[in-house]
Amino acid sequence: MQLTKPPPPLFLDLLKNATVLVVDDYQGMRTMLRNVVKEMGIARVDTANSGKDALHLLSQGKYDLVLCDYNLGPGQNGQQVLEEARLNKYIGLACIWIMVSAEKSSEMVLGAVEVKPDDYLFKPINQAMLETRLQRLVTRKKVMAEIGAAVEEENYLKAIALCDQRLQEGNTQPQELLRIKSQLLMTIGAFDGAQAVFETVLKERNVPWARVGMGKVQFAARDYASARMTFESVLEENRMYMEAADWLARTLDAMGEGEQAQKILEDAARRSPNSAARQKSLAETAYRNGALDVAQAAFEKTIKVSEFSSHKNPAAFTGLAKVLSDQENPERALRVLDQSRKEFPNNPEAAIQMAAAESMVYKNMGDTAKAEAAMAVAEQVMSQLEGKVSAEVAMDMAKSYFKLDKKDRAAELLGNVIKNNHENIELSRQVEGIFEREQMGEAGQELIEKARQEVFGINNEGVRLANAGKFKEGVELLRKAVHELPTNQVIILNLAGLLIAQMSREGKDNAIAAEVRLLIDQAVRINAANKKIHEYSAVLDRLMKAA
Amino acid sequence: MNQDEVSFTDLIASSVHDMKNSLNVQIDTLENVATALHERGDGESAATLGAVIYQANRMNVDLIQLLSLYKLGNSLYPLDIAENSVAEMFDELLSQNGSAMELKGIRISTDCPDDCYWYFDRDLIMGVLLNALNNAYNYTKDEIRLVARINNGALELRVEDNGRGYPPSMLTDDLTAENKGVSFLSGSTGLGFYFSSRVARIHKNGERCGSLAIENGGTFGGGCFVVRIP
């Protein structure tokens, strides 16, 4: 209530032409919120009464402000609607999302959710409250908008520079900026820089996000023992800090302590059950541990949680099918795979995974002919993809071949996984695990070692030729290697580096620059968290701009 | 189900929750009526209603405090010690309480740097300040000031008024309910102080924890309510 009407605040001018969406399953609340917004002078207000309805409207991509109730009755809740809207880019970074709720829950305040709304508003809501909050959010959005835009175009170095600039200006939440900066540094693989940020923050105050950050740096340095201690200590103080739980499980897995990892994930999934990624890690860990009941429940929950989401993952379906097959329920396993085919109609990698899973189910049923036919389908799709499949897909195929006793093809596939990821220790360990389960541990180790040495050899030879000034020969060698190992990021980036070095020696060349850009794109698709990607792309820009 | 199995505290807590919701609907309606009266030029009735709204707000603050204490005691409160803008919190307090103050002819001002950010649980500290504002409303002559400063690595929040100040008996160092004399006779329940000191103490940074003080003096020479958060 305002007795002496103040002049309309400046920010309302910015919002006057905004388009607003109000989402609530109660008619009364919808009307109330719409009226409050209209009172503020905003003319364009739409309403939706369910998550599905809201997503349909959001998909038009025209909203600047969303007021969404957390509890939307059956179907998705407000958080899930937000996650899907962000994931599908229905809302840009400039859109303000306010979650309305009856009360604060621990899921909202702690690290339980990854995608957060801009603010929470707790009932009862009045106009004065909404106006003060909006004023604050509009100002904050403006400060963050440029950083957000740089992130959206994947120009992380620029985003980091903007963070530093804002920090110097000193009129935004400094800790929030440091948090964003540290995330960006982790994204590009600049772990030293990120660590420095975490240390600065921790000197002042013991905040959990910075401690979890330190743990991630330790994990990246493969110092698993320290990472484990860090994540455990955060969890001890804050059982609801889910990010710490997820990372602790990942660390334990890397240390080979699958049972412990499963325990941590089970506990985390009980506290915060609606994360598809967490349910899937639990399912996979439990399956590896042979805890079929836990795996089944978690795979089913993964599918259920992501049912309405475009975040659906075929591995949850194939995983469930394999569990069901191991539980001697092949009919249900095949039904799950049938359903999965309908869920992922135009996804060749999914088709391969489903065929591989189907082959396993049939083999378990004793129908070798059908099992082999399924693998023939998988091979056909793979050849359409020119062999460019993710390590996960290749390993799925290899497991099915082992089941069919076609060890040669299985070993060939796994060898390729290693050659394409010769520096990835975690993946090597997974491949080793597959061989061990086939009682072929020793042969597996030998194969892994040979595959790694082969790639190291090519790589070293390329570097040696470059150092000797023989760019042409070095480039030729690495080009051939990239062709054969299209997902080996190290080789791709070394070729890019070599081409850049050649240009800086021999002058710029548009054709070579284009090749380097393609290589950088290829590397980004594999994993953006590599400092070299961002360094090379900055050097290339400088080189091409120079006279 | 055996009736003995129902915990009396749980029952009170759920009732308090329900009362709080009803009360909020009442306050909202009363404010609309008061605005209408004021616009019609009936200042006298509006002022009377203002006093009613003040009492309702006081009840609301009590209920929120009871509920928070219940949750804190049962580890149900989702404590959220995060970086907050103090200036923004002051703005929000004014937008919620400005009208009742204005109806009583009280001038309320804030003194806080724009770039004052600190770590605290926003809702709990708002509750503490609301309680202090309600006290000041009662005892001030016509002036209240909200002040924020960062001093010796702690955020100092002050609510100052130009009333006669606290009686000497209340100016002890130890601000706990026992020392403030919880009494049904005097009408001083001690709830506000108990809640505030509890909230101050759960704000910790390393070895240090928050504290509460009342004193006389400040800008206006009246009562001052001071919270320090490390």
Question: If you ran DSSP here, which 8-state letter would residue A255 be given?
Answer: T
Cα angle A79-A47-A68, degrees, rounded to a multiple of 5:
20
* pLDDT score for B186: 46
Q: Which residue of A has its CA nearest to B21?
A: A124
Q: How confident is the model at residue B51 (pLDDT cuts 50, 70, 90)?
A: confident
CA distance A357 to B160: 72
Is pLDDT at A8 greater than 50 in this prediction? Answer: no
CA distance A30 to A32: 5
A27-32 mean pLDDT: 84
DSSP percent split of chain B into helix, strand, coil, nearest 5:
50, 20, 25
Is pLDDT at B187 greater than 60 in this prediction? Answer: no
A328-357 mean pLDDT: 94
Q: Does B45 touch chain A (CB under 8 A)?
A: no
Of A313, A314, A316, A266, give the one whose Cα is nearest residue A286: A266
**Which residue in A3, A135, A207 has the most chain B C-beta atoms within 10 A of its own C-beta, making it the best mutation to test that interface?**
A3
CA distance A302 to A313: 9
Q: What is the pLDDT of residues A404-452, one digit of tens each?
A: 999 999 999 999 999 998 888 778 888 998 999 899 999 999 999 999 9
CB atoms closer than 10 angstroms to residue A41? 11
Q: Does B3 touch chain A (CB under 8 A)?
A: no
Is pLDDT at A402 greater than 50 in this prediction? Answer: yes
Give A318→chain B minimum CA distance, Å: 38
CB distance A1–B91 less than 8 Å?
no
Q: For residue B82, which residues of chain A lie inside 8 Å, CB to CB? A: 109
The SS3 assignment for A542 reads helix
CA distance B212 to B201: 9
Q: How confident is the model at residue B124 (pLDDT cuts 50, 70, 90)?
A: very high
Match 């050649």 to its residue by tokens: A502
Of B206, B155, B229, give the one whose Cα is nearest residue A206: B206
Q: How confident is the model at residue A2 (pLDDT cuts 50, 70, 90)?
A: very low
Phi, psi of A151 (to 5 degrees): -65, -40
Is pLDDT at A123 greater than 80 in this prediction? Answer: no
A338's CB contacts (< 8 A; 6+ apart) are: none
CB distance A173–B80 less than 8 Å?
no
Is pLDDT at B184 greater than 50 in this prediction? Answer: no
Q: How confident is the model at residue B183 (pLDDT cuts 50, 70, 90)?
A: very low
Q: How confident is the model at residue B24 (pLDDT cuts 50, 70, 90)?
A: confident
Counting one residue from chain A and one from chain B, the pairs whose CB atoms sit within 8 A come to 66
CB distance A128–B32 less than 8 Å?
no
A349 near A390, Cβ under 8 Å?
yes
DSSP A494-526: HHHHHHHHHHHHH---HHHHHHHHHHHHHHHHH
B103-118 mean pLDDT: 89
Phi, psi of A40 (to 5 degrees): -80, 0
Q: What is the pLDDT of residues A454-470, one digit of tens each?
A: 999 998 999 899 888 88
* pLDDT score for A164: 93
B81 near B115, Cβ under 8 Å?
no
Antiparallel, parallel or unpaired: β A96-101 and A65-69:
parallel
Q: How confident is the model at residue A310 (pLDDT cuts 50, 70, 90)?
A: low
Q: What is the pLDDT of residues A151-189, one digit of tens each?
A: 877 788 889 999 999 888 876 678 888 998 998 998 888
* A342-346, A442-446, B36-40, B187-191: the lowest-pLDDT one: B187-191
Q: Does B85 touch chain A (CB under 8 A)?
A: yes
Q: What is the pLDDT of residues A250-269, one digit of tens each?
A: 999 989 899 999 999 999 99
A438's CB contacts (< 8 A; 6+ apart) are: A402, A407, A444
Is pLDDT at A16 greater than 80 in this prediction? Answer: no
Q: What percent of chain B has pLDDT over 90?
A: 29
Average confidence score pLDDT of chain A: 88
Is pLDDT at B130 greater than 80 in this prediction? Answer: yes
Q: What percent of chain A has pLDDT over 90?
A: 51
A268 near A249, Cβ under 8 Å?
yes
The single-letter code of the amino acid at A319 is G
CB distance B92–A175 less than 8 Å?
no
| Structure token digits, residue A144 | 């963050």
A3-25 mean pLDDT: 69
A252's CB contacts (< 8 A; 6+ apart) are: A228, A258, A260, A261, A264
A210 near A243, Cβ under 8 Å?
no
Give B225→chain A minimum CA distance, Å: 25
Antiparallel, parallel or unpaired: β A65-69 and B222-229:
unpaired
A540 near A515, Cβ under 8 Å?
no
* pLDDT score for A5: 42
Query: Pick from A3, A131, A206: which is nearest to B38 by CB?
Result: A3
DSSP A313-357: -HHHHHHHHHHHHHTT-HHHHHHHHHHHHHH-TT-HHHHHHHHHH
CB atoms closer than 10 angstroms to residue A312? 19
* pLDDT score for A39: 82
* pLDDT score for A84: 85
The residues of A whose Cβ lies within 8 A of any Cβ of B are 1-4, 104-106, 108-110, 122-124, 126, 128-129, 131-133, 135-136, 170-171, 173-176, 205-207, 240
Give B34→chain A minimum CA distance, Å: 9
Match 């880019």 to its residue by tokens: A89
CA distance A388 to A522: 12
Buried b (16+ CB within 10 A) or exposed e, A209-221: bbbbbbbbbbbee
Q: Does B14 touch chain A (CB under 8 A)?
A: no
Of A246, A242, A279, A243, give the one whose Cα is nearest residue A261: A246
CB distance A124–B88 less than 8 Å?
no
Is pLDDT at A105 greater than 80 in this prediction? Answer: no
Give B157→chain A minimum CA distance, Å: 19
* pLDDT score for A505: 86
Is pLDDT at A282 greater than 60 in this prediction? Answer: yes
CA distance A427 to A332: 31
DSSP A123-153: SS--HHHHHHHHHHHHHHHHHHHHHHHHHHT
